[in-house]
Amino acid sequence: MIHLNKKEYKFCIDTFQDSISHLSKLRGEDLLNYINSVGQDSIDSAIELITCSRKDINNNEELNEKCKNSIFWLNGMFVWSDSYMISSNEVLEYVGDEQYCSIFEKIINDDLEEE
């Protein structure tokens, strides 16, 4: 499990809101392409998690896993892991957002611990 601080939690909720807002503006093939690129599960989880508290996400294993997966796909973090980057410093060079990079590193470290 990952534990989000207040800024990271806000980043996640903002991501979920932005994704839902973006999704509502798409139609036809653009909508299908977006859903296929991030995955229906990520979208469903974003809708569910948008009302969850930080405490809920940090303490509930199922919600925590949904948050990790949704953030990973909705923010394109898979690009960095596909490029064998595993630290926030490596990603910070390209992204420049500390919350994004911190969450990325937590997700990667958590996944490595599970192996």
Q: Tell me the DSSP string of 54-96.
A: HHHHHH-HHHHHHHHHHHHHHTTTHHHHHTT--SHHHHHHHH-
Q: What is the mean pLDDT of the chain?
A: 92
Provide the token pair at 48.
């569910």
Contacts of 41 (CB under 8 A, 6+ apart): 69, 70
Average pLDDT over residues 61-70: 97
- The rounded percent of the chain whose pLDDT value lies above 70 is 98
Average pLDDT over residues 36-64: 95
pLDDT at 115: 62
* Lowest mean per-residue pLDDT among 24-28, 67-71, 84-88, 108-112: 84-88
pLDDT exceeds cutoff 90 at 83: no
CA distance 16 to 47: 7
pLDDT at 84: 76
| pTM for this model (two decimals) | 0.87
